[in-house]
Structure formats: C-alpha cells, structure tokens
Amino acid sequence: MTLQGEYEPSPEQWVRDQVAAYEASGGREANTLPDHPEWPIVVITSRGAKSGKLRKNPVMRVEKDGVYAAVASKGGAPQHPTWYHNFLEHPEVDLQDGPEPRTYRARIAEGEERAEWWERAVAVYSPYAEYQQNTDREIPVFLLEPVD
C-alpha cells in the first residue's frame, strides 16, 4: 500500500520537473542526476512532518539486497534537508525505483552499519565525501527497508 494524501510539490522547480518526468515515464526518464547520467536516482515520497502533505524528492540510488540508503547531505549544508524531519516523524515512505513505488520503513543507521552504508553511498556518488568535509554535522544515513 502506498502513501495516500494531498501532494505538495517542491518549491524547487528542478525537483518538481524531475519527479514529474520520472513518475510519468515509470522511471525510464529523469532517472539520473540532471546532466550526470552516471549518477542514478530514485524518488522517495514522505509525509511532511508539520503539514502532513506528501512530499517527493529525488535522491541518489544506493541499494543493496533490496534495502536503500537515503543520505541526508543537503550538499554539505550545516542543517539537515527538510525530508530528514519528515522521515523521523513519519518513517513509512514510498520509494520508486522503476515503474512502481513500494512502501519502506526508514531508520537512521548508526555505528558500523552507518560506516558500511556511508562507504557504499560514496562509492555510488563521490561528492558525498566532500559534502561531509564541508559540514560539522555527521551526515545522517537512513536505511529504507521494505514493508511486506
């Protein structure tokens, strides 16, 4: 069962455009970071921590054995991305990697598990290493595990 409710598109035009193109094509188009075909993305739908409205964000595709990582980097900014708070407040999210979204439960990875997934994320998207150097906060890594 996927999340139900009112969708509020991102204030960022590029995010709105990428999500719309990805969903309209069943993930066949707009499935990489704009202008970087080597960096695949997935689309995650979460419920707003304050508004309760559905929010959709493209994030880097980091996956192993059906579990996905969502790295809350915000490009190395000093604060977490908005969706970080959404995941904490409402850990049930939808992730679309291809034609159909599936429901997952998000949790923050810690310790050795975080280190393993961080390494995996940096292998997929090398700028994460620079983002971590640019901020004093430890960039959170959420693990998204399928809900059966």
Residues of the chain under the 70 pLDDT cut: 1
Supply the pLDDT for residue 101: 94
Which domains occur in the chain, in start order?
A: 13-146 (2.30.110.10)
CB 53 within 8 A of CB 6: yes
Supply the pLDDT for residue 35: 87
Supply the pLDDT for residue 78: 96
CA distances from 64 to 28, 78, 83 (A): 21, 28, 22
Supply the pLDDT for residue 1: 62
pTM of the predicted model, to two decimals?
0.95
pLDDT in tens, 62-98: 999 999 999 999 999 999 999 999 999 999 999 999 9
